[in-house]
């Protein structure tokens, strides 16, 4: 039986960007705005097996978050494919996925259901989620009142407590106070020790990538620059960035 959990093949994602233009020009052109296409991910391919921990590295704007959201099903590819072979997935990213007017508690239920869990399964974990998030009385306040750090705490608490097969982490380990960062990092290390869990981690911290990941994908301007074992790729990447 195959151990492949994630297969990304020739993945390309393009955006249509609206160029800046004046109201006068807009009226003269009958409301037709000029469009420009931007290719954020260009023909990226990789395969992960059960238990692999992949680090995604690259400069800002290189396409890391776009690629991660495509694996999580947020973005549909223009070309190529993403196959998760039926495995459950959760995406940890600040500002993503919560309904702003709902409370933190209500968002736990909603997010859990979107992840494929039953209400009974979520209720069995909700106390642990709230405790890990450290939000206290804020858990029953609207998410729109949360700071980015509080949002990150709740996102992380849900993902690490509900424990999907695949976890996608977009810079969440770098958000929050020092105490929570340390707790999150230690919890991630515990989860990575579970051989059945696969993780894709976006981080600008070379130390985090080196300590947590067994594979690294280096993306530059949307294209694969290098893919392989952590030491080989990170040595080349750190030398390039320095």
The CATH number that applies at residue 43 is: 3.40.50.300
The residues facing 81 across adjacent strands are 9
- Pair of tokens at residue 58: 């690259």
pLDDT tens-place string over residues 23-51: 555 556 555 555 678 899 999 999 999 99
Q: What is the residue range of 236's domain? A: 4-26+34-241
The residues facing 54 across adjacent strands are 200, 215
The whole-angstrom separation of Cα 187 and Cα 197 is 13
Whether 224 shows a pLDDT value over 90: the answer reads: yes
- For residue 7, the tally of other CB atoms under 10 A from its CB is 15
Give the least confident one: 79-88, 107-116, 179-188. Answer: 179-188
pLDDT (0 to 100) of residue 115: 79
Residue 107 pLDDT class (50, 70, 90 cuts): very high
The number of domains in the chain is 1
From the number of C-beta atoms within 10 Å of its C-beta (0-12, 13-18, 19+), residue 67 rates as: buried
Residue 63 contacts residue 41 (beta carbons within 8 Å): yes
Whether 212 shows a pLDDT value over 80: the answer reads: yes
Q: Which residue has the higher pLDDT, 160 or 193?
A: 160
Instruction: Name which of 109, 110, 146 is nearest 126 in CA terms.
Output: 109
- For residue 92, the tally of other CB atoms under 10 A from its CB is 27
Which residues, 6 or more positions from 232, have their beta carbon under 8 angstroms from its beta carbon? 226
Q: What angle do CA 160, 154, 6 make, to 5 degrees?
A: 40
pLDDT (0 to 100) of residue 37: 82
The whole-angstrom separation of Cα 77 and Cα 130 is 35
The residues facing 53 across adjacent strands are 199
The residues facing 186 across adjacent strands are none
pLDDT tens-place string over residues 146-179: 987 888 888 888 878 887 889 888 876 665 677 8
């Amino acid at each position: 039986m195959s151990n492949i959990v994630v297969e990304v093949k020739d993945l390309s994602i393009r955006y249509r960007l609206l160029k800046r233009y004046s109201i006068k020009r807009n009226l003269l052109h009958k409301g037709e705005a000029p469009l420009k296409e931007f290719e954020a991910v260009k023909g990226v391919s990789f395969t992960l097996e059960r238990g692999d921990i992949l680090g995604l590295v690259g400069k800002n704007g290189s396409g890391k978050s776009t690629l991660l959201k495509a694996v999580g099903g947020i973005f549909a590819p223009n070309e190529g494919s993403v196959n998760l072979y039926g495995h459950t997935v959760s995406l940890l990213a600040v500002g993503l996925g919560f309904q702003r007017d709902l409370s933190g508690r209500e968002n736990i239920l909603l997010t859990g259901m979107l992840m494929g869990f039953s209400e009974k399964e979520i209720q069995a974990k909700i106390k642990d989620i709230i405790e890990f998030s450290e939000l206290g009385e804020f858990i029953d306040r609207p998410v729109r009142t949360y700071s980015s750090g509080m949002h990150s705490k709740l996102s992380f608490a849900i993902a690490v407590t509900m424990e999907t097969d695949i976890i996608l982490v977009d810079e969440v380990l770098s958000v929050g106070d020092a105490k929570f960062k340390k707790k999150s990092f230690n919890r991630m290390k515990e989860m990575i020790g579970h051989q059945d869990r696969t993780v894709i981690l976006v981080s600008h911290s070379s130390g985090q990538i080196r300590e947590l990941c067994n594979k690294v994908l280096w993306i530059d301007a949307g294209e694969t620059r290098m893919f392989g074992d952590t030491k080989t790729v990170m040595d080349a990447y750190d030398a390039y960035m320095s």
